[in-house]
């Protein structure tokens, strides 16, 4: 296997590893390896010193110049915490249906077609209607009367 082909294969593997690691660094090192392999293949560079120099310069330059712009492509969109709190507050006062009997203050309810773990001071039975008084993210607090929840 030629040295140029080794550089190219290593570059491709590094770029593909970014799909698993998402550190947004391996892709730029991979670009450096690809460029080095291509330049070596076309006899633009030959010495080992030139290979390492091109690899280092291209990897570092692409990292510095493009990482910030490309980071959102790999990481994706995230909500900030304030938006999430607003989302949780939207559920307050919503009507839910009890899907399993409450035992020791805990049971399951259905909100917007999705089952949730829930807690309540009342002994709710399957099929009862309740209202959301609090949303803790993965668990709802519910009440059998609509009056007890904080207004939206």
- Same domain for 8 and 71, yes or no, is yes
Q: Are residues 20 and 36 in the same domain?
A: yes
- Exposed/middle/buried for 132, CB within 10 Å: 0-12, 13-18, 19+? buried
Beta-bridge partner residues of 119? 106, 141
pLDDT at 5: 93
Give the whole-angstrom CA distance, residue 152 versus residue 137: 16
Same domain for 36 and 98? Answer: no
Asked if 33 contacts 9 with a C-beta cutoff of 8 angstroms, the reply is no
Q: How far apart are CA 135 and CA 140, in angstroms?
A: 5
Q: How many alpha carbons fall within 13 Å on the CB side of residue 91? A: 24
**Entry pTM:** 0.47
At residue 137, the pLDDT reads 76
**Taking phi first (over 0 means left), then psi (-120 to 50 degrees means alpha), and beta for anything else, what does residue 67 get?**
alpha
Q: Which of 57, 75, 93 is the last residue of a domain?
A: 75
Kindly state whether residues 71 and 95 are assigned to the same domain: no
Helix (H) or strand (E) segment spanning residue 11: helix 3-21
At which of 75, 105, 138 does a domain end? Answer: 75
What pLDDT sits at residue 89? 67
- Residue 120 in contact with residue 144, Cβ under 8 Å? yes
pLDDT digits (tens, 9 = 90+) for 29-78: 999 999 999 999 999 999 999 999 999 999 999 988 887 776 666 555 55
Q: How far apart are CA 125 and CA 110, in angstroms?
A: 13
């Amino acid at each position: 296997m030629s040295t140029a082909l080794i550089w190219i294969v290593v570059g491709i593997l590094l770029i593909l590893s970014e799909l698993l690691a998402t550190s947004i660094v391996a892709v730029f090192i991979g670009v450096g390896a690809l460029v080095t392999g291509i330049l070596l293949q076309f006899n633009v560079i030959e010495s080992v010193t030139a290979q390492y120099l091109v690899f280092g310069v291209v990897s570092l330059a692409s990292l510095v110049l493009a990482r910030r712009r490309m980071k959102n492509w790999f990481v994706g969109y995230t909500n900030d915490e304030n938006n999430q709190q607003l989302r949780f507050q939207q559920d307050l006062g919503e009507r839910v249906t009890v899907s399993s009997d409450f035992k020791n203050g805990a049971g399951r309810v259905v909100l917007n077609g999705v089952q949730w773990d829930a807690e309540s001071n009342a002994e709710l039975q399957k099929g009862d209607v309740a209202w959301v008084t609090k949303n803790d993210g993965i668990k709802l607090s519910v009440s059998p009367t609509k009056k007890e929840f904080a207004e939206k």
